[in-house]
Amino acid sequence: MLFCSDIPPLRAWRAQVRRASQRVALVPTMGALHQGHLALVGLARQLADRVVLSVFVNPLQFGPAEDLARYPRDLDRDRRLADESGVDLLFAPAEEAMYPPGSEIRVHGGATAARWEGAVRPGHFDGVLTVVTKLFHLVEPEVAVFGQKDIQQATLIRRLARDFDLPVAIAVGPTVREADGLALSSRNAYLSPAGRREGLGLIQALRAAARRWSEGEHRADRLAAVLQETLAGFPGLTPDYIAIVDPERFEPVTEARVGTIVALAARVGSTRLIDNHILGTELP
Ligand code: PAF
């Protein structure tokens, strides 16, 4: 596996891979790799000849009161895991490489980015879309792979590629879960054992709503009540939002159909957890 912390060797590698007519898949991450990321690498390997994994804790997507300083970082471990999982090139740039002094142009997400995660974390998606645009220009992947756990992010990146005619396909890999259903996240590392038990409220709420929906309850307000009641059984969880939305614009729906997204965010102490389910798909 090649390791690059700067742009020129990445570009040189990319030119060589193009000459060999090989397809490249990019898996963008902020590091602290877990099985969820490695599953995305597995998907990327199926979709392309060569896989680039980026590790960059992007300051632009963190609000001033968020966890940028304490976000888990372990580049040596990430490097070993990436190598073992078949990554061809690990790109871990320094902040000055991604945002050289004086850089000020940003990608703005629009109305869809202002809802839900965007409402709770103002500017978050502008930061994500800006760094992903830059990564797409640097790596020039034929395909980029994101996780369903961050479903609003994945939707916005699909829109970014479409709206700007970027020549990249966006693939979305399923959420990877612990045996008890907790969605894998680098932020799970912040949870105490008791906090982790509270965190299970999200998957339990999603399961309860999915069950009620498959029994025939399609009214979004009634499904939202099911979600709310289930979350209320976890007193250590403070919900940020309960969203039952269309998959394109993330606008609330009144009638929940196949493909409607049920998305939740909640805090356990200072740790934010998110999870979601696409109605009509499997929920383990
Ligand atoms: O999902 C993430 O880890 C980040 O938001 C991403 C896509 C790597 C951009 O920094």
Same domain, 150 and 18: yes
| Average pLDDT of the residues of the chain | 97
Most ligand 1 atoms within 8 A of CB, residue of 150, 175, 187 to mutate: 150
Question: Whose Cα sits closest to atom 3 in ligand 1?
Answer: 29
Do 50 and 25 contact (CB within 8 A), yes or no?
yes
User: Tell me, what's the pLDDT at 144?
Assistant: 99
Domain annotation covers residue 281: no
Proportion of the chain above pLDDT 90, given as a percent: 100
- State the CATH number of the domain containing residue 152: 3.40.50.620
Residue 280 lies in a domain: no
Same domain, 19 and 156: yes
The 10s digit of each residue's pLDDT in 140-158 is 999 999 999 999 999 999 9
Residues 43 and 127 occupy one common structural domain: yes
Shared-domain flag, residues 118 and 251:
no
Determine, yes or no, domain membership for 178. Answer: no
Q: 205 and 169: one domain?
A: no
What CATH number should be reported for the domain holding residue 226? 3.30.1300.10
Given pLDDT bands bounded at 50, 70 and 90, which one contains residue 107? very high
Residues 27, 155 within the same domain? yes
Same domain, 144 and 21: yes
Does residue 16 share a domain with residue 147?
yes
Domain assignment present for residue 195? The answer is yes
* Residue 244 and residue 147 in one domain: no
pLDDT tens string 202-237: 999 999 999 999 999 999 999 999 999 999 999 999
Predicted pLDDT at 233: 98
Provide the b/e sequence for 185-218 (b: ≥16 CB within 10 Å).
Answer: bbbbebbeeebbebbbbbbbbbebbbebbeeeee
Q: Using 50, 70 and 90 to split pLDDT, how confident is the model at 275?
A: very high
User: Pick from 235, 183, 228: which is nearest to 208 by CA?
Assistant: 228
Confidence of residue 95 (pLDDT cuts 50, 70, 90): very high
Provide the domain count of the chain: 2
**pLDDT tens sequence across 53-89:** 999 999 999 999 999 999 999 999 999 999 999 999 9
Q: Is 37 a catalytic residue?
A: yes
The residue segments making up the domain with residue 14 are 2-173
Predicted pLDDT at 67 = 93
Q: How confident is the model at residue 13 (pLDDT cuts 50, 70, 90)?
A: very high
Is residue 32 located within the same domain as residue 154?
yes
Residues 122 and 193 in one domain: no
Point out the domain boundary residue: 148, 173, 198: 173
Q: What is the pLDDT of residue 52?
A: 99
165: left (phi over 0), alpha (psi -120 to 50) or beta: left
* Sheet containing 50-55: order of strands: 2-4, 89-91, 50-55, 24-29, 143-147, 169-173
Does the residue 31 lie in any domain?
Answer: yes
- In the prediction, which pLDDT does 87 show? 98
What pLDDT, in 10s, does the model give residues 232-252?
A: 999 999 999 999 999 999 999
Would you say residue 180 lies in a domain?
Answer: no
Q: What is the pLDDT of residues 179-188, one digit of tens each?
A: 999 999 999 9
Give the pLDDT of residue 46.
98
Please tell me if the CB atom of residue 55 comes closer than 6 angstroms to any atom of ligand 1: no
Pocket test for ligand 1, best of 90, 131, 138, 186 (most atoms within 8 A of CB): 131
pLDDT of residue 9: 98
What length does the chain have?
284
pLDDT for 278 equals 98
- Residue 36: its pLDDT value, please? 98
Q: Are residues 114 and 193 in the same domain?
A: no
Question: Once rounded to an integer, what is the mean pLDDT over residues 254-263?
Answer: 98
27 in contact with ligand 1, CB cutoff 6 A:
no
